[in-house]
Structure 1
Amino acid sequence: MTNSYPTRWLHFAFLIIASSSLNVHAKNKYSIPPPITYENVSYGNHSNQIFDFWKSDVEGAAPLVIYIHGGGFTSGSHDKVYGDKVQQFLKGGVHHASIEYRFRQHAELPAAHEDVIRALQFIRNKADEWGIDKDRIAAYGGSAGGQLVSYLAWHDDFADAQSDDPIARESSRLTAVAPRGVQSTMDKEWWVENIPGYKKSFYKAPDLSKPVVRDLIKELSIITHISADDPPTFMSYGMNPDTPIPRNKKSVKGWATHHVNFGIALKEQLKRNSVEVHLMYPKNQTNFKDDVAFLLHHLKAASDE
């Protein structure tokens, strides 16, 4: 993918995500992770193109789970991980990585998407050296990070078999994915019609007569990439479909940005394509306790196939 979208058409689509710093992991406060095996590994030339890698104490090739943080594509850090989750994965015989990417102040979108694709391919290229089973890689993340992991999971493979670059020849696909508080589409008219409390005054309407604008909305609306070959998916949201709109007007925009109706739309599309999908919100629990249990299950199941 090349960043061919003019900056002036990029701002509108992501203003709402960037304007909200809602912590979609509010119940899971950041905690100190185990010691990092490889810290701030560079996968590109920019200072943000780095990741941390935790190696599980296992013999032979082991699966890997990748975490991508949120922050509206303008903030956040790969350093802020949920240490308890990292520990659970390591104890379960799964390596863990946390990826950083360029923010919009560094390079306009879809630079972040290009970065996580490259990071995943870079890590896969390290499989023999680091003891990674490249056929068992999953990912999780919230908000902007949820959008990025979903993009990896549902988009067609970015591997370029004809490339002279061995990293670019690696697959960008995932075994399983667990986004949290993720938006299904960048079509803001859909938001107004389907998301409680979301108003037209929250955003500047784009000029849809411009093909570049329509192309951008389609490319970064993750629901458009769903197909029958997509991996098992676990989505979670912090409110119910009938939860009242917050009385605090300052909270409405962030609350609406991560509304469960996005997940319901995604679930319907995934089911239409016969993809295994689980949607968790307070009144709708699933067979899995949380995203960790789901990812561990599918990474282990993949080894049995």
Structure 2
Amino acid sequence: MRHFLPSSPYSLVCLLCLCGTVSSSRTVRAADVEITPDVVYGHKFGMATTFDVFTPQEHANGAAVLFMVSGGWYSRWTPPEQAQHMFRPLTEKGFTVFAVRHGSSPKFSIAEAVDDVRRSVRFIRTHAAKFDIDLNRIGVFGMSAGGHLSLMLGTASDEGEADAKDPVAQASDRVQAVVAYVAPTDLQVMASDAPNRAAVYDRFPALVISRTVAAEDSPLLFVTPDDAPTLLMAGAKDDLVPISHSRNIQAAFEQAGVTSELMEFPDAGHGFVGDDAQQATAAMVGWFEKHLAKK
């Protein structure tokens, strides 16, 4: 089993409308959730890659859901106290949420962002006991570029390197459920040398790549029968990431026998608002409840 909104990728409003240590400068307790910010899961170029943890204070179900903080493969930091309400649909159901940041474009490539989020899964699985989650019940979701990274984890993961010196690298980066909103699935059609490439993609430095390089991180090309159960959601009026991206990977999932579903929103573009947002959120939470339930 081996993103894309330039505004506020951390905000679930958009969805609703190498060695680290488990450490943090502070832990914040609210009435319903405990926030552990800036947990370091890796290092590169003298910098740390981090995530924030939102742990429900009551009725925790032991399952983890990772949110890919990514828009245009750029990962923005936001004070987690300002974001906790955005994850409430999940934390109220007992899920522990990890808001994962990756190295951002244009400094880092899409391939490097994929490597980062893969390490985040390995790190969380390695330290599952400290986070009080079940290492075999990990889901992931994201929008646009975040949806792309989610699909890469669902289709192109591995079991880790058994003989690696780094214990984190020994762990699997497989996930057990995926939800991808308006996600690019074939980066080849967005690459610099793609025929009839849409001019809007010139706005995204991450897409200054060749079709050959793009193929290496295109989830559509990695679909196999062992992929994680996947829910796709797409807007029929999306001009940035056309609905064909979701339709094509859904067809590939069906051919491979992967448990999957595509929800199409006839009047939605690149993001959901109003009733569409509420329906999408309910479907996302329901998908994780179904596929991450304790056996």
Q: State TM-score, norm by structure 2.
A: 0.75
Structure 2 counterpart of 1:10: none
Amino acid in structure 1 at the alignment position of 2:70: G
Unaligned runs of 5+ in 2: 18-29, 203-208, 268-275
Determine whether 1:77 maps to 2:70: no
Amino acid at match of 1:39: P
Instruction: Report what 1:188 is aligned to.
Output: 189
Q: How far 1:79 sits from its partner (Å)? A: 4.7
Aligned mate of 2:231, from 231, 234, 242 = 234
How far residue 298 of structure 1 moved from its aligned partner, in angstroms, is 1.1
CA distance in 2, matches of 1:179, 1:27: 10
Q: Secondary structure at the match of 2:110?
A: coil
Distance in 1 of aligned mates of 2:76 and 2:280: 31
What is the rounded CA distance, in whole Å, between the counterparts of 2:66 and 2:59 in structure 1? 20
Residue 89 (structure 1) shift: 2.1
Cα displacement (A) at 1:21:
4.8
Which residue is equivalent to 1:160?
161
- Aligned counterparts of 1:88 and 1:60: Cα–Cα separation in 2: 13
Mapping for residues 9-158 of structure 1, pairs under 5 Å: 17=4, 21=7, 26=14, 28=16, 35-46=33-44, 47=47, 49-57=49-57, 62-77=62-77, 79=79, 83-84=84-85, 86-157=87-158
Whether contact under 8 Å (1:141, 1:178) holds in the other structure is yes
Identical pairs, percent: 21
Instruction: Kindly indicate whether the alpha-carbon contact (under 8 Å) linking 2:200 and 2:240 is maintained by their aligned counterparts in 1.
Output: no
Q: What is the match of residue 175 of structure 1?
A: 176
Deviation by residue 1:74-115 (Cα, 9 ceiling, x = unmatched): 353365786445223223222111001111233233111111
Q: Quote the Cα distance in structure 2 between the aligned partners of 1:129 and 1:218.
A: 37
Deviations 1:131-172 (Å, cap 9, x if unpaired)? Answer: 110000000001111111110110041511111211111110
Q: Which secondary structure state, in structure 2, belongs to the residue aligned with residue 182 of structure 1? A: coil
Could you tell me how far apart the structure 1 residues matched to 2:100 and 2:94 are?
20
Aligned residues: 260
Instruction: Give the match for residue 220 of structure 1.
Output: 217
**Contact 2:15–2:181 under 8 Å retained in 1:** no
Q: Distance in 1 between matches of 2:281 and 2:16?
A: 17
Deviations 1:200-252 (A, max 9, x none): 55568xxxxxxx94542221111011100011111112x22xx4xxxxxxxxx
Report how far residue 279 of structure 1 moved: 1.0
Q: Does the CA contact (< 8 Å) of 1:48 and 1:101 recur in 2?
A: no
Tell me the CA shift for residue 299 of structure 1.
0.8
State how far apart, in whole Å, the 1-side matches of 2:7 and 2:79 are.
Answer: 17
2-structure distance, mates of 1:297, 1:226: 22
In structure 2, the CA distance between the partners of 1:201 and 1:145, relative to structure 1 (3 Å rule), is closer
Alpha-carbon contact 2:180-2:233 (below 8 Å) kept: yes
| Deviation, structure 1 residue 262 | 0.9
Q: Does the CA-based 8 Å contact 2:61-2:94 persist in structure 1?
A: no
CA deviations on 1:159-191 (whole Å, 9 max, x unpaired) are 11111211111110011000111011012289x
More strand by share: 2
Q: Please tell me whether the aligned partners of residues 151 and 180 of structure 2 are also in contact (alpha carbons under 8 angstroms).
A: yes
CA distance change for structure 1 residues 268 and 79 in 2, over 3 Å: closer, same or farther? farther
* RMSD of aligned Cα (Å): 3.6
Q: What TM-score do the two structures reach when normalised by structure 1? A: 0.73
Rate the CA distance shift 1:138–1:115 in 2: closer, same or farther, 3 A. same
